[in-house]
Amino acid sequence: MFGSLKAGDKGKIIDISHVGHLVQRRLLDLGITEGSEVCVKCVMPFGGPVMIESCGQCVGIRRKEAVQIEVERI
């Protein structure tokens, strides 16, 4: 689902292991990992970064990392 990102989409993370190790670790620190429910807040144009929100916490990550997160739509 993160492959076709749109603002307002909500999902539950199924697999985050394909994302780069450093990014994964940082996201984990922020509480975003497998099982987390996230919501896409906005998507920057021209392939720019995305803002995702989880448990009231807003985080920005690059598009190419976001698309590697497997999410199940809810």
Partner 1 sequence: MEIALIGNPNTGKTSLFNNLTGSYEYVGNWSGVTVEKKVGLFKNNIGQLIDLPGVYTLNPLSRDEGVVTSFFLNETVDRLLNILDASQLERNLHLTLQLLEFEKPALIGLNMIDVANKRGIQIDASKLSQVLGVPVVPVVARSGKGCDKLVDVISTKSIQPAKKHLVYYGKEVEEAISAMTRELSGKTDHSPRFLTIQYFEGNEYVQSYVNGIANSQEINTIVANLELNLQKQAENKSLANFIYLKRKEVILRIVAEVARKSDSIIPLSERIDGIVTNRILGMPIFLLLMYFMFMLTFDWLGTPLSDALNGLLTGPITVGFEKVLEAVSASHFIQDLILEGLVAGVGGVLVFVPQIFILFFFISLLEDSGYMARVALVMDRIMESVGLNGKAFIPMMIGFGCNVPGIMAARTIETPKERLMTILLTPLMSCSARLPVYALFVGAFFAGHKAFVVLSLYVLGIVVALILAKVFSSTLLKSETSLFVIELPPYRLPQFQSLWRSTWDKGKGFVRKAGTFIFAGSVFIWLLSYAGPGGVKVDMDHSYLAAIGNMIAPIFDPIGFGTWQASASLITGFLAKEAIISTMNIIYFVPNDASLQGLLAEYYTPLAAYSFMVFILLYIPCLATTATIYKETGSKKWTAFSMIYAFVIAYVLALIIFQGGKLIGLI
Interacting residues with partner 1 (CB under 8 A): 7, 20, 22-23, 25-31, 41-49, 51, 53, 55-62, 65
Q: Which helix (H) or strand (E) holds 12?
A: strand 10-15
The residue type of 15 is D
CB of 13 to partner 1, least distance (A): 14
CB of 11 to partner 1, least distance (A): 17
Distance CA 30, CA 69 (A): 16
CB of 38 to partner 1, least distance (A): 13
